């Protein structure tokens, strides 16, 4: 079970000064890497595709960040929190915050 999932609010803990400390929503998780909305933006040159109706040029989009460089954002405190998994009596796994034990 991944500790970060699509739709989670996360804070970037390490990286360059442009993204460190910034928060955003996880757009997708790709193995050990996450894509966070409006963070770590890069410009990509694309060719025009008239069949799909796409114009060419420079397109700005999100680049991936390693999953170890982000932490789940605790909505109560507004800070990054570590997570753990807990197995319930029925065998279902849930994610909990390590500091308070709250279910996510």
Which architecture does CATH list for 9-46+55-97? Roll (2.30)
Residue 8's pLDDT band (cuts 50, 70, 90): very high
* pLDDT at residue 1, rounded to an integer: 61
pLDDT bin (cut points 50, 70, 90) of residue 104 is confident
Phi and psi, residue 58, nearest 5°: -85, 125
Can you give the pTM of this predicted structure? 0.84
* Cα–Cα separations (whole angstroms), residue 6 to 2, 26, 62, 104: 10, 5, 15, 13
For the stretch 10-64, pLDDT in tens is: 999 998 888 999 999 999 999 999 999 999 999 999 999 999 988 889 999 999 9
Q: Cα separations (Å) of 46 from 28, 38, 49, 101?
A: 22, 19, 9, 46
CB distance 70 to 81 below 8 Å: no
């Amino acid at each position: 079970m991944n500790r970060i999932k699509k739709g989670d609010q996360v804070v970037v803990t390490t990286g360059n000064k442009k993204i460190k400390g910034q928060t955003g929503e996880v757009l997708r998780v790709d193995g050990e890497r996450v894509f966070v909305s409006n963070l770590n933006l890069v410009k990509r040159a694309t060719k025009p595709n008239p069949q799909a109706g796409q114009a060419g040029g420079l397109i700005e989009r999100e680049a991936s960040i390693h999953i170890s460089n982000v932490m789940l954002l605790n909505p109560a405190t507004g800070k990054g929190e570590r997570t753990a998994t807990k197995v319930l009596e029925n065998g279902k796994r849930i994610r909990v915050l390590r500091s308070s034990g709250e279910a996510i």
